[in-house]
Amino acid sequence: MATADEIAEAYADWQVRCNGNARLARMLRGWDRTVHLMATDTGDGFTIAVSGSVLADLRHGLVDRPDLVVSATSEDFADLFWGDLNPSEKYVSGEIVLAGSSEDVMRLDAMSMVAFLDQ
């Protein structure tokens, strides 16, 4: 199990990578969304807001109505933000569960792919 602190640390690293990526900034233009993260093993909830192509700081707790909900284990969230796992693979295997539109899911996956693979 990863603690909330560990997830926050991983997210902070991911946030810097994403916000510093010019291509991702173009990709996220006009995509202002609220994403809820639900850690299925610890019960922790987090909120990510994307506005003006910029990822805001991670907030503890579930704030506002979400456009997208991502459910996974705390370990998977930490690994995802560190770029150590392929979220698509976990999604296809059912270990990451999503609720939201396919377009939003694509954008979220694009964030992890562009941030770490620069594709």
Partner 1 sequence: MSEGAPAPAATLRRAMSLRTAVSTSTGLAFAALQYLAAAGLVAYVAGDSAWISIGVAGLLALMAWAFFGELNGMFPTAAAIRRYMSGAMDDRVALTITFTYLSTIVLVVAADAFIVSAALTHVLHAPGWLTAVWTLALLAVAVLSNLRGVKVAGWLQDVATSIVLAATLVVSVVALARSGTALRTPFQPVHHHSGAGFLESVALGIFLYSAFEWVTTNAEEVRDPKHIHRAMLIAVAVLFAVCAAMTTAMSHVLTHAQLITAYPQLALGQKAFGAAGIWIMAAVTTVTALNTFNGGFITASRFVYATAREGSLPPLLARLNDRAVPWVPVLLLGTTSFAVSVVVEVVGGSGWQVLVAVGAALEGMIYAVAAFCVLRLRGRVPDHHRPFRVPIVRVVAIAGLVVFSVLALVASVSVNNRFSPVPLVIILAMGAASAAYTVTVVPKLQAAEAARRAARPTRRRPRRPPGTAGPDPGAIPPPVP
- Smallest gap from Cβ 111 to partner 1, in A, equals 9
- Smallest gap from Cβ 39 to partner 1, in A, equals 11
Give the chain as a DSSP string: ---HHHHHHHHHHHHHHHHT-HHHHHHTTT--EEEEEEETTT--EEEEEEETTEEPPPEES--S--SEEEEE-HHHHHHHHHT-S-HHHHHHTTSSEEEE-HHHHHHHHHHHHHHHH--
Q: Which of 58, 76, 77, 115 binds partner 1 (CB under 8 A)?
A: 58
Q: Which of 19, 49, 73, 109 binds partner 1 (CB under 8 A)?
A: 109
Q: Which of 16, 49, 59, 77 binds partner 1 (CB under 8 A)?
A: 59
**x/- map, 12-51, partner 1, by CB under 8 A:** xx---------x--xx------x-x-x-x-x---------
Per DSSP bridges, beta strands 68-72 and 33-39 are parallel
Residue 71 in the binding site for partner 1 (CB under 8 A): yes
Backbone region of residue 86 per phi and psi (left: phi > 0; alpha: psi in -120 to 50; beta: other values) = beta
Footprint on this chain of partner 1 (rule: CB under 8 A): 1-6, 8-10, 12-13, 23, 26-27, 34, 36, 38, 40, 42, 57-63, 65-69, 71, 75, 78-79, 82-84, 86, 88-89, 91-94, 97-103, 105-107, 109-110, 113-114, 119
